[in-house]
Amino acid sequence: MATCEVIVIANQKGGVGKTTTAFNLGAALAKEVKKVLLVDADPQGDLTTYMGCSNLNNIPVTLATLMNRAINDEEVNSKKAIIRYNEKLDLLPTNLELSSLEINLVTAMCGEYVLRNIIAELKDNYDYVLIDSMPSLGLLTINTLACADKVIIPVQSEFFAAKGMSNLMSHILKVKRSINPNINVGGILLTMVDGRTNLAKEINSEIKEKYGTMFKLFDSQIPRAIKAAESTRTGESILEYDKNSKISKSYMNFAKEVIGCDREEKTRNTDVWIR
């Protein structure tokens, strides 16, 4: 297996399409014959639910179980938590237990690196590990950033889309300086784009103007589509639910761009960003 890339899908703003993007990017990369592990690092457990686990309380081993064991210095055995979604796609599920664990991270020895040690045990089996993070910049999110080679930032195409972005970028920069020097911003992805309006173009220009010199703005954009919500109720990715839809094709193109980025320079004007 070639080297694994760990990508965190992050934005502290809620409801921008992080989980939908994590699942469908994972499904699209799997269609590109990549072996993918999806990690649900949001205590809401939405990714676990979107992938068809309806009763979160009945999952015997979750990410919370693993992180608790790691904090208590017990044997972790990360592979026991993995649920096989299909031949190319695995899930490390979670549930609400993860939220009560966050407080234990504060006092844990090297609390920022608990997730990183768990992922390190698993990553050799995959081409990509995609981590869905929660809408906050707390210790759990820091744990996800501590593992990451790359952060992909979904931004909902709406007025004030860029609000809060500078906060997120400076947070990632602090992590880069103090916890994980390998981390880079992989790019910004516009989601829920309504192609019938000029608003999308305006927002695209605004983000390009503010962040385009430092970070990649993906050419692919994810359209607003009711199918995104419908598919979550069936436990299917949009690619399975309606593979010929516009949104399906957008996620496939996005996956190709993500694979292509590996071949491009890994950092984009990182020096400018860091200064």
Residues lying near Mg ion in the complex (CB under 5 A)? 18-19, 46
Cβ closer to Mg ion: 19 or 184? 19
Q: Judged by CB, which is closer to ligand ATP: 78, or 191?
A: 191
Quote the least distance from Cβ 23 to ligand ATP, whole Å. Answer: 8
Residue 52 binds ligand ATP, judged by CB under 6 A: no
First to last CA, the chain: 36
Distance CA 56, CA 35 (A): 25
Q: Which of residues 204-223 bind ligand ATP (CB under 6 A)?
A: 222
Does residue 250 contact residue 223 with C-beta atoms inside 8 Å?
yes
Q: In the complex with ligand ATP, which residue's Cβ is closer, 68 or 156?
A: 156
Tell me if 69 sits within 8 A of 80, measured CB to CB: no
232 binds ligand ATP (CB under 6 A): yes
59 contact choice in Mg ion, ligand ATP, none (CB below 5 to 8 Å, kind-dependent): none
| 164 lines the binding site for ligand ATP (CB under 6 A) | no
Nearer Cβ to ligand ATP, position 78 or 157? 157
**Does 229 sit near ligand ATP (CB under 6 A)?**
yes
Sole binder of ligand ATP in the list 4, 7, 18, 255 (CB under 6 A): 18
Q: How far is the CB of 81 from ligand ATP (least distance, A)?
A: 20
Q: 52 — phi, psi (to 5°)?
A: 100, 0
85, two tokens: 């979604």
Nearer to ligand ATP, 109 or 226 (CB): 226
Q: Which of 143, 191, 221, 248 binds ligand ATP (CB under 6 A)?
A: 191
Q: Are strands 128-133 and 5-9 parallel, antiparallel or unpaired?
A: parallel
CB of 40 to Mg ion, least distance (A): 9
Subset of residues 244 to 273 that bind ligand ATP, contact rule: CB under 6 A: 247
* Degrees to nearest 5, angle at CA 114 with 267 and 185: 15
Distance CA 90, CA 38 (A): 6
| Residue 157 binds ligand ATP (CB under 6 A) | no
Q: Which stretch binds ligand ATP (CB under 6 A): 70-78, 94-102, 173-181, 227-235?
A: 227-235
Pair of tokens at residue 204: 């695209």
Query: Is the CB of 67 or the CB of 228 nearer to ligand ATP?
Result: 228
Q: Which does 195 bind (CB under 5 to 8 A by kind): Mg ion, ligand ATP, none?
A: none
Among 105, 192, 200, 258, binds ligand ATP (CB under 6 A): 192
Residues that bind ligand ATP (CB under 6 A): 14-20, 42, 46, 135, 191-192, 222, 224-225, 228-229, 232, 247
